[in-house]
Amino acid sequence: MGAATQFIVGLIGALGAFCLGAVIGWSGPVEKDVKNGNAYDFSPGQTEWGLVGSLMTLGAAFSCIPVGVLIGKIGRKTTMLILLPPFFVGWLLIILAKHIAMMLAGRFIVGFCGGAFCVACPMYVTEIAQVQYRGVMGCFFQLLIVFGILYAFVVGGFANTLCFNIACAVLPVIFFVLLIWMPESPVFLAQKGKSEKAEKSLKFLRGKDADVAGELKDMSAEGQKEKASIGKTLCRKVTLKGLFLSIGLMLFQQMTGINAIIFYTTFIFEKAGSTLEPRISTIIVGVVQAIATIISILVIEKVGRKILLMVSAFMMGISTLVMALFFGMLMKSGVGWLALMAVCIFIIGFSLGFGPVPWLMMAELFAEDVKALAGSIAGTTNWCFAFIVTLLFPVLNDSIGATACFAIFFGFSVAAFVFILFLIPETKGKTLNEIQAKLGQKAE
């Protein structure tokens, strides 16, 4: 029974990612109606609309560190529950917006709450998992983000703006109702010295008759270590090494151009002379992304993290190179299908490795006592990079052109490949203590 229970609790625990996916996918489908003034009493200009997109990433960047502190103080589950009422309020502001400022405030709030789950969800889900399921469950986060985006594309493609907004606003409510019944992370409980509660949580997750003594002992041992000051724990060589690797992965996740590609899907489909409606084409991209993420979940414990990341960087490199050539030389020559193929290869490549793995490794690379804070620093950097890319890409695209932009992304893909090859350790099937030991040897 243990595995099934863990998977169900893990999926429920990662529903925050689904809520976040809906926030990310929201702006695409509503853009036309909102800009035309059909959806609201106001119509934002280009700059204001740019803010609607990017304020969400900024909100997410602001939330990671406070949430990192909270999950260490009051627990993973409690933190996620506290975030849900404001999440709902953020959507209410978007539904009831009478002025652009209300919509921007709403976008910032839903970004803030959604981004917070980037730290809380992966930690909660990897902590309730047994070692042999950790890779699979660590990918639930990205999987549900992708399904959340797909949900937004599908509902937003066929419903009017009001119904679509309401369909997004109910998500945090559903999450709240389900999460209340789930156990707190046993790792957190053991750390806080609540061994009885930790045991109860473990029995719930592993099955009533499971022998959890060994696991409990490991978790408690971690909690019993003398508590060093935050500064000291962050400055340990192992922690700094983990931070460097984790931030590197986050940097490459954003800088290889995933947001730009998703942003530009419709445009690329049109340029490719495809006769599909834009909304259908975005849904196709969403489906491709979902399928590729599922494949990565099926292979991650067999192949390992490192190989998936290298395959991922390789595929993204090839497709950004093709895109650069397409925009540079081939636009006129009627090979639109080439750009379409490149987009699909990019998205498959991204979803196989660089989509899910950085979030999984964020939860794997750090010792328990520093994980919440270090993970939230990595999360913050991810959203800052996302903010920079979403803000700069349209500007750069106008000033230096698409070819140069994709050439830059190609450069980042090559750098990412080298970074993984030489620096990233394989964490597959290792306990958290073994991973720390491995990083420690390299850091000496």
Q: Are residues 118 and 250 in the same domain?
A: no
Closest CA to 156 of 80, 98, 94, 104: 94
Residues 251 and 392 in one domain: yes
Domain assignment of residue 199, yes or no = no
- Is residue 205 included in any domain, yes or no? no
CATH of the domain at 357: 1.20.1250.20
Ranked by mean pLDDT, the top range of 95-99, 236-240, 303-307, 353-357 is 95-99
Residue 200 domain-assigned?
A: no
Same domain as 164, residue 234: no
Is 37 inside a domain boundary?
yes
Distances (CA, A) of 222 to 200, 261, 278, 305: 18, 42, 52, 25
Chain segment 174-228, per-residue pLDDT in tens: 999 999 999 988 888 888 888 888 888 878 888 787 777 877 777 777 666 656 6
What is the per-residue pLDDT across 348-390, written as a single tens digit (0 to 9) for each?
A: 999 888 988 888 888 788 877 788 888 889 989 999 998 888 7
Domain boundary, last residue among 148, 164, 182? 182
Would you say residue 383 lies in a domain?
Answer: yes
Task: Give me the pLDDT at residue 79, please.
Answer: 95
pTM: 0.84
Query: Does a structural domain hold residue 136?
Result: yes
**12 band by pLDDT with thresholds 50, 70 and 90:** very high
Q: What is the pLDDT of residues 285-337, one digit of tens each?
A: 889 889 988 988 888 878 888 899 999 999 999 999 998 888 888 766 667 67
DSSP state of 207: -
252 and 156, same structural domain?
no
Query: Which runs of consecutive H residues, i.e. helices, occur in 272-335?
Result: 278-303, 305-325
Taking only the tens place, the pLDDT of each residue in 396-432 is 877 888 889 889 999 999 999 999 999 888 888 777 7
Total domains, the chain: 2
Query: Would 210 be classed as within a structural domain?
Result: no
Instruction: For residues 65 and 146, state if they share a domain.
Output: yes
CA distance 432 to 133: 13
**Do residues 138 and 356 lie in contact, with contact meaning Cβ atoms separated by under 8 Å?**
yes
CB 95 within 8 A of CB 111: no
| Whether residues 131 and 6 fall in one domain | yes
Within this chain, do residues 237 and 363 fall inside the same structural domain, yes or no? yes
Indicate the Cα dihedral angle 113, 102, 394, 359, nearest 10°.
Answer: 0
Domain span at residue 396 reads 230-443
